């Protein structure tokens, strides 16, 4: 038999290798025919311009009209920004665009960077490998296997193109990504990528032309695509959004920006509107959060806000929460509890705040909010037991328990006026703790072993006129530190690097910030300065819990300064907070 019958190509056809997408031979034509070069160039040029039609006609994907519009915009503009609601499929659509570009532009290098460590890899792992690579038209173009390692996550194509996910490095410094060069770059979850990283590291990656463009002297620019949900108007993403928007409406042909609220998904049949609106009923959802996660709206504080986002955002510097104090801890803690007992959906919540104190040489403190938890429907006895465990077991360095004693809280301090037993579940050891009494209840001190540990708070207008301005001054002078936004720890939670209980503390801090933005200072009919809610349906349980603790710390600071200045001239007016 002739040796030509055993050629590599004929054998691959007979063995079925040409249909095996894991084999590079599948990319070779079974029967080579001459082609009309001009027609082929016209074909490719058309689909490069109308890339959505390529996805539908050639790859066989089913796209909604809004998806086709977005794909075409990505192909046309040098800088695109898409502000999308949750669940609308922004990462999937980005993966579709990159696959189309990889096929239509041989040798192109496509990069994915993300504000979340795992998110960039997830585009390749979940969207490309997990979904799109199962399409036989796409699979025929890919050189398998798809690599998904943390240091090498890449999809290679048989025409020399590649899609690669890059890691920005520890703390998102971007140092580990400096050496990469891409022709197109996707910034996924762009609101979490620091602006200086975008400007100094990511955008410069796209300045290198493709070799074929250099060889032919063709004009070609790289592309940068920003995809994210909306966020606060204080964020760098909003500034970039407005820059893109102003460029676009001024007629700059290089910029495109749009928002895709949940209504787009409803119209397409992706969402059920009732399901989306039910998100507003969740206890962790606020109007502001719903606006930026589902409506594609950048949220800013009302002009009336006493604590605008611009003020509070700077305080979010703490990386780690504390479910209990560290071993061998020297710092002291203040535990604060705003009381509520109702189980009704619209009722207040009982909120516990733990404030870590770091003394300063001038007698003041840096205040770190390391723990916050909201409970609904707990009886006073259960709240007592919860607080006992917090101050004795989890934060034994606690020096004061501050309790709201108005209304439902009036009887809670008295539940501490007896000994309390704790049984260690691991060892079975039983420990008895002494009675804790209010620090102004002289009669209660007659109880054997009683400790004046509880500060009972009844907030008056005079009390509030110290509490709210002092809280604002703590934001202004940087002595109040809060946890970073939950979005920055979301990936840690999803990869089990932090627990659900820890992640919940970051969410509580988000809610605190939103409650603060809803506080306004106004003059009452009686000409008194009062602090009210701008939107009355928004609660302020977290604000008052924090405020009661800060008021007590203010008293501590006043005492420290008075003691330090006993032998010096001292003016009490220097330390009063008058609004």
Q: Which two tokens stand for residue 224?
A: 């940068």
Could you tell me if 54 and 104 are in contact, meaning their C-beta atoms sit under 8 angstroms apart? yes
pTM equals 0.73
Percent of the chain with pLDDT over 90: 66
Residue 178 clears pLDDT 90, i.e. is over it? no
Residue 442 clears pLDDT 70, i.e. is over it? yes
What is the pLDDT confidence band of residue 169, given thresholds at 50, 70 and 90?
low
What is the pLDDT confidence band of residue 2, given thresholds at 50, 70 and 90?
very low
Burial of residue 245 (number of CB atoms within 10 Å: 0-12, 13-18, 19+): middle
Residue 422 clears pLDDT 90, i.e. is over it? yes
The residue among 123 and 303 whose pLDDT is bigger is 123
What confidence score (pLDDT) does residue 175 get? 58
Burial of residue 534 (number of CB atoms within 10 Å: 0-12, 13-18, 19+): middle
CATH topology of domain 21-260: Rossmann fold (3.40.50)
Domain ranges of the chain: 21-260, 309-322+330-563
What confidence score (pLDDT) does residue 536 get? 83
**Between vectors from CA 157 to CA 153 and to CA 162, what angle results, nearest 5°?**
45
- Pick from 23-37, 299-313, 434-448: least confident: 23-37
Residue 575 clears pLDDT 70, i.e. is over it? no
pLDDT digits (tens, 9 = 90+) for 309-318: 999 999 999 9
pLDDT digits (tens, 9 = 90+) for 357-377: 999 999 999 999 999 999 988
Q: Is 320 helix (H, G, I), strand (E, B) or coil?
A: coil
Q: In this structure, are strands 451-457 and 398-404 parallel, antiparallel, or unpaired? A: parallel
CATH annotation of 309-322+330-563:
3.30.420.240
Could you tell me if 192 and 487 are in contact, meaning their C-beta atoms sit under 8 angstroms apart? yes
Mean pLDDT of 191-197: 86
- Where in 115-203 does DSSP place strands (E)? 142-148, 153-157, 162-165, 184-188
CA torsion 304→310→312→316, rounded to 10°?
160
Residue 436 clears pLDDT 90, i.e. is over it? yes
What does the mean pLDDT of the chain come to? Answer: 88
- Pick from 208-222, 365-379, 462-476: least confident: 208-222
pLDDT digits (tens, 9 = 90+) for 380-407: 999 999 999 999 999 999 999 999 998 8
Helix axes 541-564 and 500-516, enclosed angle (nearest 10): 80
DSSP letter string, 510-568:
HHHHHHHTTEEEEE-TTS-EEEEESSTTS--HHHHHHHHHHHHHHHHHHHHHHHHTTTS
Q: How far apart are CA 105 and CA 24, in angstroms?
A: 18
What confidence score (pLDDT) does residue 1 get? 42
């Amino acid at each position: 038999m002739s040796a030509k019958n055993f050629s590599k190509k004929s054998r691959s056809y007979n063995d079925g290798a040409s249909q095996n997408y894991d084999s590079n031979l599948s990319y070779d034509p079974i029967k080579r025919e001459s082609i009309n070069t001009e027609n082929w160039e016209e074909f490719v040029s058309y689909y490069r311009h109308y890339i959505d039609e390529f996805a539908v006609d050639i790859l066989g994907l089913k796209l909604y009209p809004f998806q086709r519009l977005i794909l075409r915009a990505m192909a046309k503009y040098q800088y695109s920004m898409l502000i999308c609601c949750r669940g609308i499929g922004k990462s999937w659509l980005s993966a579709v665009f990159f696959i189309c570009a990889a096929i239509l532009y041989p040798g192109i290098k496509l990069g994915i960077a993300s504000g979340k460590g795992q998110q960039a890899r997830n585009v390749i792992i979940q969207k490309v490998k997990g979904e799109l690579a199962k399409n036989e038209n796409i699979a025929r173009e890919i050189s398998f296997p798809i690599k998904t390692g943390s240091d090498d996550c890449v999809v290679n194509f048989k025409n020399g193109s590649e899609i690669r996910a890059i890691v920005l490095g520890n703390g998102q410094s971007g140092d580990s990504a400096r050496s990469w060069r891409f022709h197109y770059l996707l910034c996924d979850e762009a609101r979490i990528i620091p602006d200086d990283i975008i400007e100094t590291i990511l955008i410069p990656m796209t300045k290198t032309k493709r070799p074929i463009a250099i060889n032919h002297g063709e004009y070609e620019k790289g592309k940068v695509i920003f995809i994210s949900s909306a966020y606060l108007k204080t964020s760098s993403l909003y500034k970039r959004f407005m820059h893109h928007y102003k460029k676009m409406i001024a007629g700059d042909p290089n910029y495109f920006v749009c928002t895709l609220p949940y209504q787009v998904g409803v119209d397409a049949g992706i969402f059920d509107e009732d399901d989306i609106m039910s998100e507003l009923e969740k206890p962790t959802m606020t109007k502001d959060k719903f606006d930026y996660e589902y409506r594609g709206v950048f949220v800013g504080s009302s002009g009336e806000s006493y604590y605008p986002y611009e003020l509070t955002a700077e305080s979010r510097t703490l990386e780690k929460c504390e479910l209990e104090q560290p071993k061998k801890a020297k710092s002291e803690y203040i535990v604060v509890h705003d009381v509520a007992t109702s189980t009704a959906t619209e009722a207040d919540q009982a909120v516990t705040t733990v404030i870590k104190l770091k003394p300063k040489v001038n007698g003041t403190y840096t205040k770190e909010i390391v723990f916050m938890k909201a409970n609904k429907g707990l009886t006073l006895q259960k709240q007592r037991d919860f607080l006992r465990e917090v101050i004795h077991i989890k934060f034994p360095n606690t020096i004061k328990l501050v309790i709201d004693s108005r209304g439902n809280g009036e009887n809670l301090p008295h539940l501490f006026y007896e000994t309390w037993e704790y049984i260690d579940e691991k060892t079975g050891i039983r420990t008895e703790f002494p009675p804790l009494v209010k620090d102004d209840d002289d009669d209660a001190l007659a109880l054997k072993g009683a400790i004046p540990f509880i500060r009972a708070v009844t907030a008056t207008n005079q009390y509030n006129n110290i509490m709210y301005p002092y809280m604002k001054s703590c934001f202004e002078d940087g002595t109040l530190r809060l946890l970073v936004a939950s979005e920055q720890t979301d990936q840690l939670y999803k990869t089990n690097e932090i627990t659900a209980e820890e992640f919940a503390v970051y969410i509580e801090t988000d809610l605190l910030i939103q409650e603060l933005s809803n506080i306004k200072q106004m003059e009452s009919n009686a000409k008194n300065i009062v602090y009210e809610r701008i939107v009355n349906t928004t609660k302020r349980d977290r604000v008052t819990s924090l405020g009661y603790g800060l008021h007590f710390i203010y008293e501590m600071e006043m005492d420290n300064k008075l003691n330090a200045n006993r032998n010096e001239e001292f003016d009490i007016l220097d330390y009063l907070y008058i609004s």
